[in-house]
């Protein structure tokens, strides 16, 4: 990966920050003061500021054996921006803290920041500050993202109503399948030295390594004048996220298995691995799609959007959170999200 | 430290977040939505939002051998709040991300959060979100702090003027001396097993382990209707911070050695260790005092405040950044801040 290796220590801390931020552009009028002082200043007069923060740790959340640094940078930003969209807000700024051991060269760090800047450009956000420091081991990333939303337009998890339609964007389960194949190829490589050919798996591998946040869905809501009644992004799997909305809204729900959107390539690949595509969608994670509820009256406005699937509806809490299978059976949903704590 | 040891894994990720945030209070009207959704929402209508973010890594920024978890939690918040004050802003919210290995028990984490909440109470800020996750090794903390300031009242590093007075709050060099004694006692303990008696060193050890941000100075500025022309907090040592203001304001300066405020206990202790107290102030770090410039016309307003020392003045850039020693010699200031990158 590195033809040239420059030790980061040759730059010093401030030299490193200058190097990493020299091409940093400001895209939002609300960015009053950016990198280079004790703090940044933002101005969202008349709008509310939405804030989300996440930490990504090497060996826990990503494996650099199959994650290119550029993709890692991109995804680190995207993950937080996805949370901002999940509030029905528009992302505007991020701060980024990174810690890394001396195993990492300046070239590797540059690749990471290339991905960060690519995501900033794609999602029109400004990198306004942060910290670069040493770690004892591995690469640790902490991103805080800011967005803006008109007062009372932000969408919580706790405000779904009985009878609302439960909807999801895009396809589910692909990222989990991508992870499964990469982990399998890593084991094969470790045991046999045989290099994987992942060309046929471009879709699912891409879902894991280069996911995109659903900017288009938020823009569609604005165009159609729809405000979802509740929303969450799908980072831990459909089951876990549905249970969050149900619990926080004090409701039950029914999901129809046949309505859960799984991409055809992903479905075929799941069968090849003898996995149930529905289980991948329910318990896999990192799809970064949006799960939301809308009033039934809004159905007409969304039905023409082929990126949105209605997968069920909200019920009395007494009815529980259930999935109605293709075979006509009902099962309780169980939270089996990716639990990094265990 | 831990009489009881509860494995964090027994709670699961969401159980852990509930446990850690169950007593979390909201203190600011601008906190519209706090922990428990994809993102928090803040509202600073009519004021600008100031944002600062820092990362603290075990083994790099702190040593748990002599840093109590509660003090660590307190200091993690305080460090960022200090940056917000350095913008002449009032801190209002923080987000907190922590990663930790399975070496840490729930009791240890609870102590850390006790410190976090104590700092939130002391500085009247709301903890509005964040992430708790695993690390491969050690304890890693990332805090982002938010504050509010009236438009055009925020103070940058780059706006000092020629002839302005260079001032600093409190005393300098104490935290560095505290670190020096703790590192020495750690070596002695490793070599001989002899427990340190740090009672005589309460002042300098306290400066390192439980520093406070200068809320009082910012409040004093507001009362006196003073807006400093430039400001920075002293985290890397007086030299390094002075050079930041000079470079970013395109000015030089002269500091009078005899005016640099060093606490008497710290001074005596420096002599005992055969260290130069001035060098400790210039190159030590982590004092979290405020270094600022004011117009000469504001001298009358600050001269009665015994927490503020005028240590020099700003000059033409051609005159360089110099220190005038007690002996009447001039030396160029050199940046020898704590460089965690090397």
What domains can you pick out in chain B, each with its CATH number?
Answer: 8-149 (3.30.1330.10), 165-332 (3.90.650.10)
> With bands split at pLDDT 50, 70 and 90, how would you rate the model's confidence at A336?
low
Q: Count CB pairs under 8 A between chains A and B.
A: 228
Distance, in angstroms, between A46 CA and closest chain B CA? Answer: 6
Give the SS3 label for residue A136. Answer: coil
pLDDT of residue A156: 93
DSSP state of A275: -
Contact criterion met (CB below 8 Å) for B323 and B253 = no
Q: Which residues of A, range 16-75, sit inside 8 Å of B by Cβ? A: 16, 32-33, 36-46, 48-55, 57-61
**Chain A residues with beta carbon closer than 8 angstroms to that of B50:** 39-41
Closest chain B residue by Cα to residue A138: B136
Burial of A255 (0-12, 13-18, 19+ CB in 10 A): buried
- Per-residue pLDDT tens for A184-237? 989 988 888 887 777 778 899 999 999 999 999 999 999 999 999 999 999 999
Contact B129 A93 (CB under 8 A): no
> Is B341 close to A137, i.e. CB distance below 8 A?
no
Q: Kindly list the distances between the CA atom of residue B337 and the CA atoms of A43, A75, A260, B239, B282, in Å, as whole numbers in the listed order.
A: 32, 33, 56, 7, 8
The reply to whether B154 touches chain A by the CB within 8 Å rule is: yes
Instruction: Please say if the pLDDT value at position A18 is more than 90.
Output: no
A8: left (phi over 0), alpha (psi -120 to 50) or beta: alpha
* Predicted local confidence at residue B130, as pLDDT: 86
Nearest CA to CA, how far is B88 from chain A (Å)? Answer: 10
% of residues, chain A, pLDDT over 90: 74
- Nearest residue of B to residue A85 by CA position? B38
What predicted TM-score, i.e. pTM, was given to this entire model? 0.92
- Cross-chain residue pair A45–B41, CB shorter than 8 Å: no
| Segment 164-223 of chain A within 8 Å of chain B by CB | none
Complex ipTM, two decimals?
0.90
A99 and B16: CB-CB below 8 Å? no
Is it the case that residue A63 has pLDDT exceeding 90? yes
Q: How far apart are CA A289 and CA A214, in angstroms?
A: 6
Nearest to A133 by CA among A107, A117, A109: A109
Q: Which residues of chain B have pLDDT under 70?
A: 1-3, 336-342
Task: Name which of B258, B251, B306 is nearest B278 in CA terms.
Answer: B258
For chain A, the distance separating the N- and C-terminal CA atoms, rounded to the nearest angstrom, is 32
Q: Does A157 touch chain B (CB under 8 A)?
A: yes
Put residue A250 in one of left, alpha, beta given phi > 0 → left and psi -120 to 50 → alpha. left
Computed over every residue of chain A, the mean pLDDT equals 91
**pLDDT for res A342:** 33
Q: What CA–CA distance (Å, rounded) separates A118 from A112?
A: 10
What is the per-residue pLDDT for A339? Answer: 42
Other Cβ atoms less than 10 A from the Cβ of B126: the count is 23
pLDDT of amino acid A308? 98
Contact B140 A61 (CB under 8 A): no
Strand partners, B52: B145
pLDDT recorded at residue B336: 66
Searching chain B, which residue's CA lies closest to the CA of residue A130? B53
What integer pLDDT is reported at residue A340 of this predicted model? 42
Q: What is the 3-state secondary structure (H, E, C) of B66-110?
A: CCCHHHHHHHHHHHHHHHHHCCCCEEEEEEEEEEECCCCCHHHHH
User: Which DSSP symbol is given to A142?
Assistant: E
Is the Cβ of A91 closer than 8 Å to some Cβ of chain B?
Answer: no
Q: Which of B55, B58, B92, B139 to probe by mutation at the A interface, max A CB count within 10 Å?
A: B55
Please indicate whether, in this complex, the C-beta atoms of B40 and A52 are within 8 angstroms of each other.
Answer: yes
Whether residue A341 and residue B46 make contact (CB cut-off 8 A), yes or no, is no
pLDDT at A3 (0 to 100): 66
pLDDT in tens, A288-319: 999 999 999 999 999 999 999 999 999 999 99
Nearest to A57 among B38, B133, B151 (CB): B133
CA distance A87 to chain B (A): 7
- Token pair, residue A70, equals 């550029």
The closest of B206, B208, B224 to B216, measured between CA atoms, is: B224
């Amino acid at each position: 990966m590195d033809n040239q290796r420059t030790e980061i220590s040759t730059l010093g801390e401030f030299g490193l920050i200058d190097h990493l931020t020299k091409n940093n552009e400001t895209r939002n009028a609300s960015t009053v003061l950016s990198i280079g002082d004790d703090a940044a200043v933002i101005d969202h007069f008349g709008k509310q500021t939405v804030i989300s923060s996440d930490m990504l740790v090497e060996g826990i959340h990503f494996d650099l054996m199959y994650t290119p640094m550029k993709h890692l940078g991109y995804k680190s930003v995207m993950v937080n921006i996805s949370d901002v969209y999940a509030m029905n807000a528009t992302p505007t700024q991020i701060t980024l803290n990174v810690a890394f051991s001396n195993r990492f060269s300046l070239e590797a760090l540059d690749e990471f920041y290339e991905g960060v800047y690519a995501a900033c450009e794609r999602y029109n956000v400004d990198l306004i500050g942060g910290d670069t420091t040493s770690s004892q081991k591995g690469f640790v990333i902490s991103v805080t993202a800011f967005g803006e939303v008109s007062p009372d337009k932000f969408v919580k998890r706790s405000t779904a109503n009985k009878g609302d339609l439960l909807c999801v964007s895009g396809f589910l389960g692909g990222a989990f399948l991508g992870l499964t194949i990469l982990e399998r190829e890593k084991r094969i490589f470790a045991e046999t030295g045989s290099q994987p050919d992942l060309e046929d798996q471009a879709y699912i591998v891409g879902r894991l390594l280069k996911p995109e946040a659903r900017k288009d869905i938020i823009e569609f809501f604005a165009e159609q004048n729809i405000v979802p009644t509740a929303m969450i992004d799908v980072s831990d799997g459909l089951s876990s996220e549905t249970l969050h909305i149900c619990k926080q809204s004090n409701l039950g729900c029914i999901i129809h298995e046949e309505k859960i959107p799984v991409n055809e390539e992903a479905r075929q690949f799941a069968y090849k691995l003898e996995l149930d595509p529905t289980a991948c969608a329910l318990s896999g994670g990192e799809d970064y799609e949006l799960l939301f509820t809308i009033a039934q009256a809004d159905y007409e406005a969304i039905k023409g959007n082929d990126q949105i699937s209605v997968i069920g509806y909200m019920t009395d809490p007494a009815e529980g959170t259930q999935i109605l299978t293709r075979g006509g059976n009902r099962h309780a949903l169980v939270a089996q999200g990716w639990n990094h704590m265990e």
